[in-house]
Amino acid sequence: MICGTIMLLFIEYVSKSKSGEKFMIINQDCVGCAQCVAFCEQDAIKVKGRAYIMEACIDCGFCAAYCPMKAIEVPV
């Protein structure tokens, strides 16, 4: 079961990486406070009313630790 889940995640990772799509998801709780922007070393977040993750994101998950709304979902 766990092996299967890991396998699925891996396949998703490979396909997402190939297509350039990102794992990080900004959910609807985002208020657009831009706190995450200041902590992203890749300059991969843009904010206007809400946050948008850009191509440069490397899925490091660092920004999520600074989001007051738990709006950045990190894949586990």
Partner 1 sequence: MKALIIGAGLGGLLSGARLARAGYEVEVFERLAMIGGRFTNIEYKGFKLSTGALHMIPHGPGGPLAQLLTEVGADVEIVRPSPLSMIRIPKIKGGNYYKEGYVDIPFSGFKNQFSMMNQLKLASLLVTTRINPPKEGTFGKWISRNVKEEWAFKIADAFCGWSLSLGCFDVSTKEAFAIFENLYRYGGSGIPIGGCRAVVDALADIITSNGGVIHTGADVSEVIIRDNSAAGLVVNNVEYFGDVTISDIGHLETSRLCNGAVESGKHTQYFEKIRKIMPSAGVKICLSSDEPLIGHGGVIFTPNARRINGMNEVTNVDPGLAPPGKHLLMSHMCVQQDRLKYLEDEIDLGLHDLKEMFAGKKYEVLLIQSHSNGWPVNRSASGLDVGNKTPFTDLYVVGDGAKGEGGIEVEGVALGVSATMDIILGQGNRLDGCN
- Residue 33 sits in the site that holds ligand SF4 (CB under 6 A): yes
Q: Is the dihedral of CA 49, 17, 76, 41 positive or negative?
A: negative
Q: Which of 16, 37, 57, 59 binds partner 1 (CB under 8 A)?
A: 37
For ligand SF4, the closer CB: 15 or 32: 32
Q: Which does 23 bind (CB under 5 to 8 A by kind): ligand SF4, partner 1, none?
A: none
**One-character DSSP codes across 12-34:** HHHHHHHHT--S-EE-TT-----
36 sits in which H/E element: helix 35-39
Which residues lie near ligand SF4 (CB under 6 A)?
Answer: 24, 26, 30-36, 40, 42, 44-45, 47, 51, 53, 57-63, 67, 69, 71-72
